Structure 1
């Protein structure tokens, strides 16, 4: 029974374990309650202790049963000599002895790309990783950290073909530093557009749909030069980790500490320009990687792959026939990539099947009588009546927490720890934005029965909610709660073997004629997606949801009437 462990000790601390062809994976934030499990002190490393323990317990093995241990490197200094050994020793000391002794390091970007490629089902693919910065271990083309890396990927080899690196070039007053980090570029601009307290990158992507990219587009384009051979040059300091230097655009100094001084319309115009220039830059690199590899599939990963609008552009304009975005393209996914690397390339095991979602974590447990909060009543043992009952609640425009099966891995709720609502009513959308304390311009995503997707959307979504699609104009009025200002939606396609949402979507379709639901993550503002039934009950009461479904039990708020007698009749039958 071969077993390989993959770990990430840095941002989005996580653990992944492949045992006998089955993947177990979880993020440490789901136990700590701290989003991204991020520390207040920069550079602090921690082992994913609780997620690691869960993986071991769920697989029924101990540390001594693990054949290989791999972790994504994040050492920013050159990887040669004692620096690499120092990082390995530092990480090994955080693990139980049998695991620490077997620990080996894989480059950060290679871990990223393999978290997608080895689950894509493609034998030959191009890989592209773009983020703020990776490790020095993968910097084969010169000193510094990974920023942009292109790969040619096959079952028997991993070839790094392209790398964007920082440069020092002559300037009018002496040498100047030129950066290649599109991740830093997007984050820096987001911090100058989005007020503190809102997640900057995701909020700027949403706000961009309200803006005019032409207003500031020429000035933003001056910040990035696109060169031959996929080269990217970002003007200093916007391509670095400098978040404090004001940006002079439109005769104004844009800075993180004066964001609220700008009207939302102006900020939307700058956001639209940044989004457009950012997407064009990534497409520029992707086309170069396509020319280098001749592959028909692009596997995209890294923090920038969370930008679903960018992914829509990549799918349409990059020259590839197929785009596969890793199920968890952010840093937590490097644990999955590291584990799959050891499983396939080191141990020579067959690749895992293409997943329908990323439900690789723990089950939620059950609602006991002692958990029912004031203001709610429990209707247990609904059995097969659960899905039609919840579909009736959703059809009546109630907002329902939905907790079912293994926990998702990654930042998107894919129908296992979700809040669901009717996709056609903007009033429900606005209420949900207020419940989650989100900016009113931020959209919600639809989960759609895969076989009906083409009837409602002009372009493709994906199973992991990582890509926007254009809503068919004739359909948009019927699904106004999930249609963004620019006529797009971040679509999750739900296949026939999806264990979380499939039956409920089918029931809702029969009742309403709509084969889709509004699906958003079950969490409080600034907190991770919740893990357990107990957490779901508390969050339901605190957020004021109308109902909660866990297992075959529904909690119904006292103000919500029995949906057409379903709950009462289902209880009497038992």
Structure 2
């Protein structure tokens, strides 16, 4: 019998994570924030490594290879922001790879295409002298030299021919060394620019998703061009930050000048779309027959992604669901399997749900916590029927199923669900369940076969990284999941890897006439998505959520009878 081969990939920058492959397929993966309960947590990887080992039921001595990545340094096997679990295993084989290479291999491992181009755009990658890519450009050709300071990856473009990754173009930029808080990345970073405006509006560089939600409330009053373009490269203008005159230092300040910040978000979104489109047109040079795989934090900008498709800049587009740094561990693992172990590339099943499963254990402590609730254990048919009826009756339902999603989007494993036709649900969930800003939109999760009945562009979007526009006759059916600009960030639910969520939508369609549900991540403001049942129960009990489904158990605050 052949020995199983285990490869562990681990990312140690912000949005840290670990992923374990068994014979070239994802066995388990987890983001550190889900375990530490600190959003965007990174650094030391002991928590995530131990989680993967426990889920796999193996010891560290059974790991054949560890591949790691951190943005600026090569971490020690024994120590990185605290002791690492590898310290007592001196024979563990360790490999370090650079940032954009890890991003690229995350799509090589998960992309459904055989041959494709790869685009990476993010905030900041590895320093030039730590890059593992073949055919690195001569810095003189980019008018750069080491006297400029630390030179780091800005965007990268590759071709994967089915067996090997070829570097086609890489751009670099000096790391920003000014004391201005606006750009703590490279001097000409698209992702860094967007993070800077997030920091300006919300006081937090990591709220870029929130910025995308705010942008449609803005007006095109800022005409200043943040970027200029030259010979296929994108640069920030010398006076790019001229409009940044009144940063919001707290929520009250934001509310008092809300329209200004909305206008800033509108401007930032427009400028990012312009820059990304230029890069792609420059790289593709009109050749759109070859599929494109897209990753890096900027690839999570669903509005920009959809614009590329609508304008015909790209025809076949795969976007890595964990495109930000949480996907680095995935790329490390696949690099190890393909390039070090020399394993065969396996076609991924499309799932992003790499976490461990939990059963609902009704201990005495749990029963006491839920003493004022109804708890029912149901077979699947009755569970789906009663859950669908609750949603159709305008109740909010926490939905906790199987292993958690890997990446920033709730795709039907750690979700809060509601009736998409009830317009008041947006305010209710934002105010009384998630306790977050009132402008934050929600997504519709839909049956793929319903696309033609509901949306104009009919974009297949299993990972919630594209936006579409409802057709006129569907606007009332989707009132709670249409943003102020008439768009919706959609998820088309895949039956193959999300079967119970798919069945729920089929059941819901019988009650509402539409195969769609309002879906938002199972968390409240400032917290990661719930990982364990007790975290789901805590939010359920301390919010206005009406019911909670954990595997086959339906828990409600009143005894709903159907």
Match of 2:490 in 1: 491
* 1:308-354 CA distance string (max 9 Å, x none): 11111222336221111102111111000110111123323333333
- Matched position secondary structure for 2:472: coil
The structure where helix makes up a greater share of residues is: 1
- Give me the whole-angstrom Cα distance separating, in 2, the residues matched to 1:477 and 1:196: 36
Match of 2:247 in 1: 255
Whether 1:209 and 2:216 are equivalent positions in the alignment is yes
Match of 1:505 in 2: 505
Whether 1:186 and 2:185 are equivalent positions in the alignment is no
Match of 2:260 in 1: 266
1:93 Cα deviation (Å)?
6.7
Whether 1:355 and 2:349 are equivalent positions in the alignment is yes
1:440 Cα deviation (Å)?
1.4
Q: How does 1:510-521 map to 2 (within 5 A)?
A: 510-521=510-521
- Give me the whole-angstrom Cα distance separating, in 2, the residues matched to 1:148 and 1:100: 35
Whether 1:63 and 2:53 are equivalent positions in the alignment is no
Count of aligned positions: 523
Match of 2:234 in 1: 232
- Give me the whole-angstrom Cα distance separating, in 1, the residues matched to 2:255 and 2:394: 37
- Give me the whole-angstrom Cα distance separating, in 1, the residues matched to 2:188 and 2:91: 34
- Matched position secondary structure for 1:458: coil
- Matched position secondary structure for 1:425: coil
1:263 Cα deviation (Å)?
2.6
Match of 1:426 in 2: 423
Give 1:405's match in structure 2, choosing from 402, 405, 408: 402
Unaligned runs of 5+ in 1: 39-44, 77-83, 169-176, 239-246, 567-574
1:295 Cα deviation (Å)?
5.4
- Give me the whole-angstrom Cα distance separating, in 2, the residues matched to 1:304 and 1:408: 20
Whether 1:390 and 2:413 are equivalent positions in the alignment is no
Distance 1:260 1:73, change over 3 A: closer
Distance 1:332 1:162, change over 3 A: same
Match of 2:97 in 1: 106
Distance 1:73 1:237, change over 3 A: farther
Give 2:152's match in structure 1, choosing from 130, 145, 150: 145
Distance 1:271 1:280, change over 3 A: same
- Give me the whole-angstrom Cα distance separating, in 2, the residues matched to 1:365 and 1:178: 45
Whether 1:13 and 2:21 are equivalent positions in the alignment is no
Give 1:297's match in structure 2, choosing from 288, 291, 296: 291
Match of 1:473 in 2: 472
Distance 1:471 1:108, change over 3 A: same
Report the TM-score when normalising by structure 2: 0.87
Unaligned runs of 5+ in 2: 140-145, 176-184
Aligned-CA RMSD value: 2.5
Q: How does 1:5-154 map to 2 (within 5 A)?
A: 5-23=8-26, 24-38=28-42, 45-47=43-45, 49-75=46-72, 94-96=84-86, 97-98=88-89, 101-136=92-127, 137-138=130-131, 140-141=136-137, 142=139, 144-154=151-161
- Give me the whole-angstrom Cα distance separating, in 2, the residues matched to 1:236 and 1:334: 32
- Give me the whole-angstrom Cα distance separating, in 2, the residues matched to 1:103 and 1:256: 44
Report the TM-score when normalising by structure 1: 0.85
